[in-house]
Copies of this chain bind each other. A is one copy, B any other.
């Protein structure tokens, strides 16, 4: 078999790639494993990553084609092409789309598979449409477990885009018929993924609150790891998040070395914004987000004001700066 991974820097003929249509840009935690899963399913794709060593390593591992630039990646694909972006939402995705617009042509399809805001998709689709390029947005769930279990993918775009993406969905999803869905028009994929993450925030917070009440309960000396494992079998709250919790609580129920700091992400915030914009109450999602803000120390000024007000009206002592 003839294959050259430095191909993109050469003019050599690469006959076996003649039918390669799918390029993946961005090989981080998610993108890298998606490339691996596609390889396992017998697909061959072109890869590009900001750091070429990453592309080269994954190409060596998978048999995919590493391309040093977006232009190389586009050149390596046969039209009509599919270019799937797995870049950080925001600046990186924005730049890639602007770079791709002149490189791609009519009939090509760009898919943003990162955690983008659905309103940006609508803007991006219009931007690409001006170049005759089709656009789809895909929300991908599954995290680091997707490689083994398959990804849960929800994507928005035209019927034509959906038809072209179907073989890749069948490979990436847990089974060919389960775990992927064409949700509707452009933006709807990321919208559904956004709401998914909002629900995730609420579920996580509910679990965390409950385990905190159990861990803190005097007198019962509860084994929270055993309880999490218990609930995995037949309880109403059985869930994948509980499965994960059972794993780490069995090993370390006290969590003493963990800092009580919880990062938040765009999708959690966007879901909360969406609720306000729609005028639909979503108190649990919103509160789950705000408890993360609080864990980051972002509620400190408010707490200081409360301490001062209490001092102001009741003469209550306030703690000083000893913290």
A83 to B191 alpha-carbon distance, docked (Å): 42
**Does B209 contact A304, Cβ atoms closer than 8 Å?**
no
The answer, yes or no, to whether A55 is at the interface (CB within 8 Å) is no
A199 to B188 alpha-carbon distance, docked (Å): 30
**Does A308 contact B255, Cβ atoms closer than 8 Å?**
yes
A198 to B312 alpha-carbon distance, docked (Å): 17
**Does A303 contact B213, Cβ atoms closer than 8 Å?**
no
**Does B313 contact A145, Cβ atoms closer than 8 Å?**
yes
A198 to B191 alpha-carbon distance, docked (Å): 27
**Does A152 contact B240, Cβ atoms closer than 8 Å?**
no
**Does A258 contact B216, Cβ atoms closer than 8 Å?**
no
Chain copies in complex: 4
Interface size class of A (residues with CB under 8 A): 35 or more
Residues from chain B with Cβ under 8 Å of A180 in the complex? 230
**Does B299 contact A281, Cβ atoms closer than 8 Å?**
yes
Residues from chain B with Cβ under 8 Å of A198 in the complex? 206, 209-210, 213
**Does A285 contact B196, Cβ atoms closer than 8 Å?**
no
Residues from chain B with Cβ under 8 Å of A293 in the complex? 279-281
5 closest residue pairs by CB, A with B: A202-B206, A239-B239, A179-B233, A260-B303, A244-B312
Residues from chain B with Cβ under 8 Å of A260 in the complex? 297, 299-304, 307, 323
Residues from chain B with Cβ under 8 Å of A311 in the complex? 248
A208 to B282 alpha-carbon distance, docked (Å): 9
